[in-house]
Amino acid sequence: MSDETVKPLLSVALIGCGRVGVKHLNSIFKAKDSLQLCALVDTDIITAKAFLEKFIINNRKAASAFPRVKFYTGIDALLLDMTPDIVAITVPSGFHYEIAYRAISSGCHILLEKPMTMKTSEAKELYDLSVATGRHIAMGHIYRYLPIMGLIHQDFISEKWGKISHGSVVVRWGHDQAYYDQAAWRGTWKLDGGALMNQSIHALDLMCYLMNTYPVSVVSQLAKRFRNMEAEDIGAAVLRMENGALCVLEGTTATSPSDHEASFYINAELGSLRVGLRKGLPFFDIRDKKGKKVTRKYYREELKAKGLRGIIDAKNPHYLIYRDLINCVRNGDDPIADARSGYKSVEAMLSVYRSAKEHRQIDIPGDSDFDLNDMSGYFN
Ligand SMILES: NC(=O)c1ccc[n+]([C@@H]2O[C@H](COP(=O)([O-])OP(=O)(O)OC[C@H]3O[C@@H](n4cnc5c(N)ncnc54)[C@H](O)[C@@H]3O)[C@@H](O)[C@H]2O)c1
């Protein structure tokens, strides 16, 4: 490789050394040809140090890949000392806005876990800031990175499938009580929300991405049936999309943790599709208007576009988000799960909650701001 083609490594600081932080660290390690981990940040410094130690024990080559990692207890201490090219934010959702705002205002690009924020106006602010500063926000909307999703999205953009009647999103991502009990922020209105805001927001985002449209109104209901927490463990909504199609959403954590499902159905004039994940494995059933399976055509196109490596890498969608962001930082494109997807999904999901709270249809965008914490006391 000539010197001209060698690109400098992008420095990355990871804020939040918890459950999903491991997937990020693993992805940063996998992308070590382009990324250099410069800092780990966690309010609990012992957790941050143990997090890296454990990772190095499990991945022997990580010691040489991560030679100069500094530790900080917060974003302010980090930014006083350095300005990383990328800040990855994997803290409880209620802290996303504050940390993302500080990082992007300091000139960093961001990889931000979902949901973008807990308040509509704050999501809009981050989106506007991203546009104004030219700094990217790549969202942790992992479903957009599953195989074939980009091809389907392109088909709907070019109206290859004709008019859409409706879609249906089912998220049955079971979590037992121990999951909610392991950290005080889980299942609270202020910092997390329930099955819709946490487990279903990126599924609703995928539906909007596939159908190439966003919701303009919603009616919904929430319930808390099995789990002991502040927020809902089941929510159901009917959304009307800008293109006139309906979208039905079911999101729950009340199902079995050993049978996770996130599935997506779309019916259009010229075909239908059922895609998603069941027990960790993707499934695809794409049919033309006569009901004939055309899934293989999509497999072939995906393979041609991404090669076998690309298909294998899709098992780790967080890694693909990093790869996408690296390319975007270098060539100026927008990430597949961009700042707008973060803002629009928060706007839509908070409208779902608002409809349940106010027992009425909510237009999107609404006439006033909404904060998930406005749901406080809903189940009292
Ligand atoms: N995209 C996905 O597939 C996916 C999956 C799981 C979680 N998530 C999202 O990731 C986020 C974190 O979830 P988790 O399950 O890893 O949580 P977690 O509780 O396991 O980890 C959070 C970590 O952040 C630290 N922390 C808390 N406040 C902080 C602050 N102000 N500054 C620095 N560190 C702080 C905690 O000490 C903890 O180590 C949530 O927003 C969640 O919705 C996304």
Burial of 308 (0-12, 13-18, 19+ CB in 10 A): exposed
* Nearest CA, atom 25, ligand 1: 16
Query: In a mutational test of the pocket of ligand 1, which residue from 14, 15, 20 has the highest number of ligand atoms less than 8 Å from its CB?
Result: 20
* Helices 317-331 and 19-30: angle between axes, nearest 10 degrees: 60
Q: What is the pLDDT of residue 209?
A: 97
Q: How do 261-268 and 246-252 pair as beta strands?
A: unpaired
* Nearest CA, atom 6, ligand 1: 20
Average pLDDT on 259-267 reads 97
**Half-sphere exposure in the Cβ direction for 137 (13 Å, CA):** 34
DSSP-derived letter for residue 200 is I
Q: Residue 63 is encoded by which pair of tokens?
A: 């010691």
Average pLDDT on 204-217 reads 97
Query: In a mutational test of the pocket of ligand 1, which residue from 15, 44, 78, 90 has the highest number of ligand atoms less than 8 Å from its CB?
Result: 90
Average pLDDT on 3-25 reads 89
Amino acid letter for position 206: L
Q: What's the CA-to-centroid distance between 223 and ligand 1, angstroms? A: 25
Q: What distance in Å separates the CA atoms of residue 86 and residue 75, rounded to the nearest whole number?
A: 13
Q: What distance in Å separates the CA atoms of residue 286 and residue 274, rounded to the nearest whole number?
A: 6
Q: What is the pLDDT of residue 5?
A: 62
Q: What distance in Å separates the CA atoms of residue 214 and residue 139, rounded to the nearest whole number?
A: 17
Cα-atom radius of gyration of the chain, to the nearest Å?
21
DSSP-derived letter for residue 194 is S
Average pLDDT on 221-227 reads 98
Q: What is the pLDDT of residue 310?
A: 85
For residue 99, pLDDT beyond 50: yes
Mean pLDDT of the chain, nearest integer: 96
Q: What is the pLDDT of residue 7?
A: 75
Is the CB of 97 inside a 6 Å radius of any atom of ligand 1? no
For residue 192, pLDDT beyond 90: yes
Does 206 or 2 have the greater pLDDT score? Answer: 206
In this structure, how many other beta carbons lie within 10 angstroms of the beta carbon of residue 227?
23
* Residue 2's pLDDT band (cuts 50, 70, 90): very low
For residue 225, pLDDT beyond 60: yes
- Span of 13-17, 156-160, 250-254, 321-325 with lowest mean pLDDT: 156-160
Three-state DSSP class for 98? helix
Is the CB of 74 inside a 6 Å radius of any atom of ligand 1? yes
Among positive and negative, which fits the CA dihedral 360, 364, 366, 367? Answer: negative
Beta-bridge partner residues of 246: 166, 240
Average pLDDT on 137-142 reads 98
Distances in whole angstroms, Cα of residue 271 to Cα of each of 18, 156, 207: 42, 11, 16
Residue whose C-alpha is closest to residue 328's, from 139, 93, 126: 139
Is the CB of 268 inside a 6 Å radius of any atom of ligand 1? no
Query: Is the Cβ–Cβ distance between 26 and 316 less than 8 Å?
Result: yes
Kindly report, residue by residue over 37-96, the tens digit of the pLDDT: 999 999 999 999 999 999 999 998 888 899 899 999 999 999 999 999 999 999 999 999
Residue whose C-alpha is closest to residue 88's, from 22, 9, 183: 22
Query: In a mutational test of the pocket of ligand 1, which residue from 14, 15, 19, 181 has the highest number of ligand atoms less than 8 Å from its CB?
Result: 19
Residue whose C-alpha is closest to residue 141's, from 243, 262, 245: 262
For residue 159, pLDDT beyond 80: yes
- All domains of the chain in start order, with CATH: 3-142 (3.40.50.720), 143-375 (3.30.360.10)
Q: What distance in Å separates the CA atoms of residue 251 and residue 232, rounded to the nearest whole number?
A: 10
Is the CB of 129 inside a 6 Å radius of any atom of ligand 1? no
Average pLDDT on 256-262 reads 96
Among positive and negative, which fits the CA dihedral 198, 373, 117, 103? Answer: negative
Is the CB of 192 inside a 6 Å radius of any atom of ligand 1? no
For residue 1, pLDDT beyond 50: no
pTM greater than the 0.85 cutoff = yes
pLDDT above 70 covers a percentage of the chain that reads: 98
Q: What is the pLDDT of residue 60?
A: 86
Query: In a mutational test of the pocket of ligand 1, which residue from 46, 91, 101, 319 has the highest number of ligand atoms less than 8 Å from its CB?
Result: 91
